[in-house]
């Protein structure tokens, strides 16, 4: 979920970062646009690229003895003396420059690899034309610090050795001792522990349940078995569709909802070709949403089996996308048949609806293509998703696949969407409403505790709903008359004319129906 924007590792503000696949897709599939960018943005003329631009050799100030082969150096192209490095990858150099500069270069002198950015635009020499060749793709991949070891492209890196052992130890932590040196116990009699995980582990490392890690300890009692985790991840999941009971019961329109997805932010998987554990960036478009990501809470971290189930799904998808596609398609067909047949409770049957990603995102164009092909193959099933990938939000989609652009994305993704639709007037979207806009309007008891409704949902005081609508209208530049509470929406959704663009307030505990309704432009999610 989105929240206040943190200062976190990522691209400097105003700098566009693309995966190799996005780069090639942008250059190949949208070659005309790329050529326009190339001719318009590359120039040593300050009048053309910005009055503060000063061309320079990033090597200025670095002696030849200091140049380390296959390492990357970063420089602000405005100031010749601001040079640092070496870094292991372009991404690593990029993290160093976060929130510092509008104009950045990273260069590997050994291989003569360099990318420059100026005010959010990638500068490309007009003579350089991008070809969709293996040679070019490998060059860009190397610069980006990405691996493509699996059959479905994804940003990933190997995970093993000392890094693996150290992370397992941080997960297990140390005993939580009282003043007498005795281990504390919880209400169930289980020994308490103090986690050794760092703040950055949450964003950079895959989640693994502590109880599983303990089971992977070796005979020496000090080291942990990579092979045991590999064996566990290699097992194919018996079922890819997960029934969402909450959405099923919140909808009285006889719709059966299912989820398909994997771990958020980063996931662990097995590269079956190399037999190596890998860490996969499952949410490459994530920005400020990292702080309040709902998938990093609740069942995803409470239940022991959740991380392993997600890891098996991700391993299956990366290593055998065809097998994944066929299994998922067969499961969808079975649910479609069941819905058409009905049962004693619903003799007229029900609609099958699938949310793509209860966690995770479309991490590559190839993966997005797989999802869109699935929707095309099953026209009678409704599909929907939230995404922070501009390519997914702006992509041509089958009529039965609705994708919601989710705010709180990385600036590189935000810019691409806002360039086409600055006010989000036509792009279906979701927004996380800040606490300060609604907390004082909720139903609470004398002790200021929330009073929830019959379905466990948060409730806005009925007489305060107009005030909430006015606040939201001002915050997002909307008409207050276009904003509906979830209850109002459910009462009138069948009578909403086609093409009418309403905005719906959704509180924690309420359903997700508006996200799959083409007549709703924005779903306003109260932060929780």
Tokens 């996380």 correspond to 432
Residue 3 included in any domain: no
Q: Tell me which of 144, 162, 187 is where a domain ends.
A: 144
Residue 12 forms part of a structural domain = no
Q: Output the pLDDT for position 132.
A: 31
* Element counts in the chain: helices (H) and strands (E): 18, 19
pLDDT given at position 268: 93
- Same domain for 282 and 216, yes or no, is yes
Cβ count within 10 A of residue 214? 12
Among 372, 145, 402, 183, which Cα is nearest to 279's? 145
Let me know whether 308 and 380 are in one domain.
Answer: yes
Residue 422: inside a domain: no
Domain count, the chain: 3
User: Does any domain span residue 13?
Assistant: no
Write down which residue in 109, 144, 179 finishes a domain: 144
pTM reported for the whole predicted model:
0.69
Q: Is residue 43 part of a domain?
A: yes
- Element spanning 285, H or E: none
Q: What residue numbers bound the domain in which 132 lies? A: 20-144
| 382 is a domain residue | yes
- For residues 222 and 337, membership in a common domain is answered with yes
Domain termination residue (choose one: 144, 160, 194)? 144
Contact between 259 and 358 under an 8 Å Cβ cutoff? The reply is yes
Q: Are residues 506 and 370 in the same domain?
A: no
| DSSP conformation letters of 410-466 | -HHHHHHHHHH-TT-SSS-EEEEEPGGGTGGGB-B-TTS-B---TTS---B-GGGHH
Q: Are residues 190 and 96 in the same domain?
A: no
Q: What is the pLDDT of residue 356?
A: 94
Residue segments in the chain with a per-residue pLDDT below the cut of 50: 1-61, 76-82, 98-104, 117-149, 249-251, 295-296, 299
Supply the pLDDT for residue 469. Answer: 97
> Are 348 and 444 part of one and the same domain?
no
Same domain, 161 and 61: no
Is 5 within a domain?
no
Q: Are residues 481 and 394 in the same domain?
A: no
Looking at residue 506, its pLDDT comes to 95
| Spatial CA neighbour of 385 closest among 370, 367, 406, 408 | 406
pLDDT attached to residue 49? 34
Q: Are residues 350 and 445 in the same domain?
A: no
Beta bridge partners of 484: 504
Q: Which two tokens stand for residue 273?
A: 């070709």
Contact 457, 509 (CB under 8 A): yes
Judge if 239 and 372 occupy the same domain: yes
Same domain, 104 and 227: no
Taking 3-state DSSP, the helix, strand and coil percentages for the chain, each rounded to the nearest 5, stand at 35, 20, 45
Domain for residue 68, yes or no? yes
CA distance 240 to 144: 31
Answer yes or no: do 185 and 243 share one domain: yes
Q: Bridge-partner residues for 177, per DSSP? A: 183
Write out pLDDT tens, residues 399-446: 999 999 998 888 888 888 888 888 888 999 999 999 999 999 999 999
């Amino acid at each position: 979920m989105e929240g206040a924007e943190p200062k976190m590792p990522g691209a400097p503000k105003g700098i566009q970062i693309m995966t190799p696949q996005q780069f090639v897709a942008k250059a190949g599939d949208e070659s005309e646009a790329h050529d326009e960018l190339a001719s318009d943005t590359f120039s040593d003329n300050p009048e053309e690229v910005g009055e503060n631009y000063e061309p320079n050799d990033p090597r200025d100030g670095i002696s030849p003895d200091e140049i380390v082969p296959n390492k990357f150096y970063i420089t602000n192209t405005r100031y010749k003396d601001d040079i640092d490095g070496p870094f292991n990858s372009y991404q690593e150099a990029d993290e160093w420059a976060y929130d510092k500069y509008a104009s950045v270069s990273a260069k590997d002198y050994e291989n003569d690899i360099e990318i420059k950015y100026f005010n959010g635009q990638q500068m490309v020499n007009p003579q350089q034309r991008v070809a969709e060749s293996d040679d070019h793709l490998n060059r860009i991949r190397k610069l980006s610090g990405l691996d493509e070891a699996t059959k479905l492209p994804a940003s990933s890196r190997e995970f093993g050795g000392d890094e693996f052992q150290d992370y397992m130890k941080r997960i297990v932590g140390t005993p939580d001792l009282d003043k007498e040196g005795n281990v504390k116990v919880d209400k169930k009699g289980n020994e308490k522990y103090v986690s050794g995980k760092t703040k950055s582990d949450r964003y950079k490392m895959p989640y693994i349940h502590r109880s599983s890690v303990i089971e992977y300890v070796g005979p020496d009692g000090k080291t942990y078995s990579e092979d045991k985790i590999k064996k566990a991840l290699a097992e194919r999941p018996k079922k890819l569709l997960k029934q969402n009971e909450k959405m099923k019961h919140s909808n009285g329109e006889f719709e059966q909802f299912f989820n398909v997805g994997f771990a958020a932010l980063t996931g662990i998987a097995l590269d079956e070709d190399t037999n190596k554990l890998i860490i996969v960036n499952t949410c490459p478009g994530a920005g400020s949403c990292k702080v309040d990501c709902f998938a990093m809470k609740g069942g995803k971290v409470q239940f022991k089996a959740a991380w392993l189930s997600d890891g098996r799904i991700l391993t299956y998808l990366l290593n055998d996308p065809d097998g994944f596609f066929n299994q998922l398609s067969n499961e969808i067909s079975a649910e479609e048949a069941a819905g058409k047949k009905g049962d004693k409770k619903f003799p007229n049957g029900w609609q099958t609806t699938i949310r793509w990603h209860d966690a995770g995102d479309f991490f590559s164009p190839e993966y997005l293509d797989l999802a869109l092909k699935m929707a095309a193959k099953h026209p009678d099933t409704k599909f929907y998703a939230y995404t922070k990938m501009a390519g997914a939000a702006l992509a041509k989609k089958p009529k039965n696949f609705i994708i919601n652009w989710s705010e709180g994305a990385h600036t590189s993704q935000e810019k691409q969407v806002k360039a086409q639709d600055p006010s989000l007037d036509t792009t279906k979207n979701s927004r996380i409403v800040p606490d300060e806009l609604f907390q004082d309007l909720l139903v609470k008891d004398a002790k200021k505790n929330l009073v929830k409704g019959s379905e466990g949902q948060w409730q806005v005081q009925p007489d305060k709903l107009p005030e909430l609508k006015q606040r939201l209208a001002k915050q997002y530049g909307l008409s207050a008359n276009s904003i509906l509470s979830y209850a109002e929406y459910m009462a009138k959704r069948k009578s909403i004319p086609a093409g009418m663009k309403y905005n719906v307030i959704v509180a924690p505990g309420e359903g997700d129906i508006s996200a799959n309704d083409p007549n709703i432009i924005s779903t306003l999610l109260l932060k929780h």
